[in-house]
Amino acid sequence: MTSDDDKNPGHGGDPGGEQNPFAEIFRQLFGGEPGQGQIPGGQAPDLGRMMGGGGFDMAAFGPIMQQMTAMMSNAQSPEAAARTSLTRALSKVGADPAPSEQDSAALRDAFRVADLWLDQVTELDTVPHQPRALRKRDWIEETIGPWRRLVEPIQDGMDGAVSEALTEQVPPEFRAMLSGATPMLKALSSSMFTMQIGEAVGTLSESVLSSTELGFPLFKEPDCGLITSSVQTFAEESELDPQQLRIYLALRELAVLRLFHRAPWLRAHVETVLQEYARGQRFDTDRINEVAAQIDPGNLEAIQEKLKEGVFAPATSEAQKHALERLETLLALIEGWVDVVSHAAAGQLPERERIRESIRRRRAAGGPAERTFAALVGLELRPRRLRDAAALFGALEQSESAEARDAVWSHPDLLPGTEDLDDPLGYRERRKAADEQSAEVDEALYRLLDAEAAGTGGSADAVDSGGDAGTPGESGNAADVVAEDTDGTGADTAADEDPGDEPEGRGSAG
């Protein structure tokens, strides 16, 4: 009688017979052939002996290098890696009922109402959108590509860190040989990362509610939507009215789309901070040695468990801490603004407060979005930051206006920082002081330019060095213009001047 493992050699007993990328990598790397269930001879090279405390053993290293070279001939192309990641993600999906026509109609109504209500509480323009009632697999297929691109800087940093960490473990006389294996090491790292993305996105799809779960518009414009089965489950677990919950989630979804439309620099801003994090990525090489000595390439489940425990996660450097703090603050600001605007727009929902608090508790409990993001980039969104950001935007709305609340997103220089989240109520005073200081500088510059334009700012040379503000024909003083006429064309009189010229000096300063 044939066992399941005999029927599916090379799958490590993985349910469903799905080909496991780790199995192929390690079997090829440590002496097996693709699809074989056993490593020849039943033995794997002793990684601890090769790279650990027993000293570097070239006899063990040579065969590994040869097998790594053979592995490269079967390395996955980017297209194949994308398919592997998608297949892995889809394999994590459990029950996934298709939305009914009634579900689709209810969702369209919810988005229609949400768009009208948002118009009443924010001046941010509506954006074209096409709401869809989604299955979990729909969400995976739409977002797996954006997810891969979003974390690409992390993968690039990981590739470099792996190569550097392994190189440091090799005696100097053998490093030239290892340098030729850099593409192989990157292929290994890429395959591991591809599997991790698929695992994360697939797990996330089991409970994610919308296309902007993390505050990012992951779908291609103008698509957006809610996963109907997950929304229904969340409503039942939280004892919320499903119709009111749909409208509230539609408000949040459209608020994110409006925000990113208003601030087109926002996506690039997040990506820049991610790149800063990737550049600061470092591996704890002592920990790598410790794990390498314990890994059994024939036990793939153990390897995956080690990865889930963060064994190969980079040690947090000072550069990373700074980048993570910036990223955490930025994401908290996005979530805080969406929270305040959605709550203000939902005034007609009887369960508004309960829905808001249920969503906040969901985030505070470390929902799937936060856990997945933490697994990919080592970031955990602290609930305190989200509430502080909401408090900051709420204070701006109450003390000034909704316009002042939304104006924060007009330029990245205006974004609140960590200090402002620590003291949300003090942000307005600090912003006011900064605006007053800027106004004083502007006023001083205006006075200087006006003085030069009137001819009282010093010599003609000083006026010329002031730029356009002091050029002839703009001062309004006919005598001065005649005195400075050097081109022989004759001076304009004050009556001949274009009335629109006089403010030019003031306008150019702004």
133 DSSP β-pair partners: 226
Task: Answer yes or no: are the C-beta atoms of 40 and 49 closer than 8 Å.
Answer: no
> Hey, what are 278's tokens?
């990737």
**Closest C-alpha among 175, 255, 166 to residue 210:** 255
The strand ranges marked E within 37-86 are none
Lowest mean pLDDT among 299-303, 324-328, 442-446, 506-510: 506-510
Which tokens is 437 given?
């200081």
Reported confidence tier of residue 484, pLDDT bands at 50, 70, 90: very low
| Cβ neighbours for 202, distance < 8 A, ≥ 6 positions apart | 88, 89, 90, 91, 92, 93, 140
Burial class (CB in 10 A: 0-12, 13-18, 19+), 93: middle
Q: How far is 279 from 213, CA to CA, in rounded Å?
A: 27
Preceding amide of 146 cis, omega within 30 = no
Helix axis angle for 368-377 and 182-205, nearest 10°, is 170
pTM here is: 0.70
CA-CA-CA-CA dihedral for 317, 318, 321, 322, to nearest 10: -140
What is the separation of C-alpha 350 from the centre of its chain, rounded to a whole number of angstroms?
34
- Residue/partner pairs of 270-274 with CB below 8 Å, 24 or more apart: 270/216, 270/327, 270/330, 270/331, 271/150, 271/153, 273/323, 273/326, 273/327, 273/330, 274/150, 274/151, 274/153, 274/154, 274/323, 274/327, 274/377
User: What pLDDT score was predicted for residue 288?
Assistant: 61
Residue 163 burial (CB count, 10 A): 20
The answer to whether the beta carbons of residues 208 and 139 sit under 8 Å apart is yes
pLDDT at position 92: 79
Task: Decide: 47 and 292 in contact? Cβ < 8 Å.
Answer: yes
User: 286-295, 299-308, 326-335 — which is least confidently predicted?
Assistant: 299-308
Length of the chain as a residue count: 510
Q: How far apart are CA 158 and CA 497, in angstroms?
A: 65
Separation in Å, CA 9 to CA 3, 63, 295, 303, 378: 10, 24, 21, 18, 35
Residue 229: name the closest of 257, 209, 254 by CA. 209
Summarize the confidence of residues 135-150 as an average pLDDT.
90
DSSP-derived 3-state class of residue 34: coil
User: In the predicted model, what is the mean pLDDT of residues 297-305?
Assistant: 56
Element (H, E) at 134: strand 130-134
Task: Give me the pLDDT at residue 22, please.
Answer: 41
Is residue 97 within a helix (H) or strand (E), and if so which, with residue range? none
Separation CA 105–CA 123 (nearest Å): 28
Neighbours of 224 (CB within 10 A): 25
The domain segmentation of the chain, as residue ranges, is 75-321+345-354, 436-509
Name 224's Cβ contacts closer than 8 Å, sequence gap at least 6. Answer: 111, 129, 130, 131, 132, 210, 211, 212, 217, 253, 254, 257
Is residue 219 scored above 70 in pLDDT? yes
pLDDT given for residue 59 in this prediction: 58
Question: Which residue, chain included where needed, has tokens 């797990």?
Answer: 203
What is the per-residue pLDDT for 171? 73
Contact criterion met (CB below 8 Å) for 157 and 180:
no
Radius of gyration of the chain, Cα coordinates, nearest whole angstrom: 31
Percent of the chain with pLDDT over 70: 57
CB atoms within 10 A of CB 320: 21
Q: Which residue has the higher pLDDT, 371 or 477?
A: 371
Average pLDDT (328-343) is: 94
CB 240 within 8 A of CB 351: yes
Q: How does residue 214 score in pLDDT terms, banded at 50, 70 and 90?
A: confident
Task: Please list, residue by residue across 36-63, b when 16 or more beta carbons sit within 10 angstroms of its beta carbon and e when fewer do.
Answer: ebebeeeebbebbebbbeeeeeeeebee
CB–CB of 154/277 below 8 Å?
Answer: yes
